[in-house]
Structure 1
Amino acid sequence: MSNTIEAIHLLEVKLKDLLVRYEFLLEENEVLLKQNGELQMLLSEKQRQLEDQKQKFDVLKVAKTMEGSNEDSRNTKLKINALIREIDKCIVLLNS
């Protein structure tokens, strides 16, 4: 009879320990999910900022080549013409 009571008591202790661990893991999971969400928002903001900076850099490159030599000016005009042709192709595709 004493072995049965000890076994039940040991089972009770282990069950309480499991419940404590479970509650701790639930809280830890909640904290980690919150941090993950914050990091995802920060990442998307940084990606948007990177895209903005890339666009500004491209504009600056074009502006710098325009104020440069004739060769740079020629390259810029070629780039602009290529962009215009690409836009025209897109318009044709959209209209068809």
Structure 2
Amino acid sequence: MNKSELIDAIAADAGITKAAAKLALESFLKNVGTTLKDGKKISLVGFGSWSVSERAAREGRNPQTGKTIKIAAKKVVKFKAGAELEAAVNK
């Protein structure tokens, strides 16, 4: 499912226009991004939670040349599925 298909599904399920569904989805995505950027965690009970984790700098290898390269430290987003979502996927 892509973004436009998700907007269509939200509009149909909620009985709202596609324009309203698009605004709601874009607001959700913006707020998730802003909250994670601020280093906070997001939890939606039954669905899952997002958090930000620090990945330390490390050494890796260039697969084409085999030379050692330095991989910079960075922040990564982690998602842990909630029990209800896992149950729905494994039904």
Q: Which has the higher contact order (CA 8 A, sep 6+)?
A: 2
> Considering only CA atoms, is the larger Rg found in Structure 1 or Structure 2?
1
TM-score by length of 2: 0.29
The structure with the largest strand share of the pair is: 2
TM-score by length of 1: 0.28
The structure with the largest helix share of the pair is: 1
